[in-house]
Structure 1
């Protein structure tokens, strides 16, 4: 009698483990973007991005160093004073959420000459360092570009 109860429980347990394993694989494959994906959609918004690579002293989040890009507006009066974007490409959306929390914690007491604006989608965090706090020049193109990430 005891054996007949154990067999269905073992079967159910095996099914649950299999379903859980499959769902994690699907989640990892969906919405996992690369820096090339981000660069492609931003450039489709006619942003002039110049790579600075992984250089300087950008903030490291969850052991991820960002790729740094300068961005210039068309007709910019001072081409030698660009604004910057940092692309953080995390391994998962959960790591990106933790990275954003870490960024905000670092920024609580910081004083800026430029102002950080954060844009998030899936495993991607973009920090756009604008010269103005009230009307960031590239807000709309960045938002539009992230909507196009698929």
Structure 2
């Protein structure tokens, strides 16, 4: 009888481990390297920009900032564009961060236009110099589509 209880307990532990492994909380998360690799595959030149001033903290996450241009762009261009990468713990946290961004910026006038791109736990904000013709928009969309879900 003791062996049966041990087998039952072992079976329950194995079921628990399987359930935890399949839970939504343990979903595969994207990281900054995944996204940078996908963007670079679209011929975007990304340079770490560091933090200047007071970066917009969203849902307790401070972004990684990069300057961006296409590989074919002129090197002496005076107008840089930027991408802020917010890496959240979950998709739910990313949704909260995007909602917070929209609330903060709804009545703000800026010299550059933000374009939000979301994938799993990543919020990418591309600050374009043109509201009507964002140069990197299509490349960013293609790169994010390439990332495995």
TM bin (shorter chain): 0.7 to 0.9
Task: Give me the whole-angstrom Cα distance separating, in 2, the residues matched to 1:102 and 1:78.
Answer: 35
Structure 1 residues 135 and 24: CA distance shift in structure 2, 3 A: farther
Say whether the 8 Å CA contact 1:41–1:149 is kept in structure 2: yes
Match of 1:129 in 2: 127
Superposed, which structure 2 residues align to 1:1-150 within 5 Å? 22=19, 25-73=22-70, 74-76=72-74, 78-150=76-148
Regions of 4+ moved over 4 Å: none
The alignment partner of 2:65 has SS state of: strand
Q: CA deviation at 1:27?
A: 2.1
Task: Give me the whole-angstrom Cα distance separating, in 1, the residues matched to 2:22 and 2:107.
Answer: 39
Q: CA deviation at 1:75?
A: 2.6
> TM-score w.r.t. structure 1 length?
0.80
Q: CA deviation at 1:109?
A: 1.2
Task: Give me the whole-angstrom Cα distance separating, in 1, the residues matched to 2:36 and 2:106.
Answer: 29
The alignment partner of 2:56 has SS state of: coil
**Structure 1: stretches of 5+ with no match in the other structure:** 1-13
**Structure 2: stretches of 5+ with no match in the other structure:** 1-11
Structure 1 residues 37 and 126: CA distance shift in structure 2, 3 A: same
Question: CA RMSD for the aligned pairs?
Answer: 2.4
The alignment partner of 2:49 has SS state of: strand
1:84-122 CA deviation, whole Å, 9 max, x = no partner? 000000000000000000000001111010000000000
Count of residue pairs brought into register by the alignment:
135
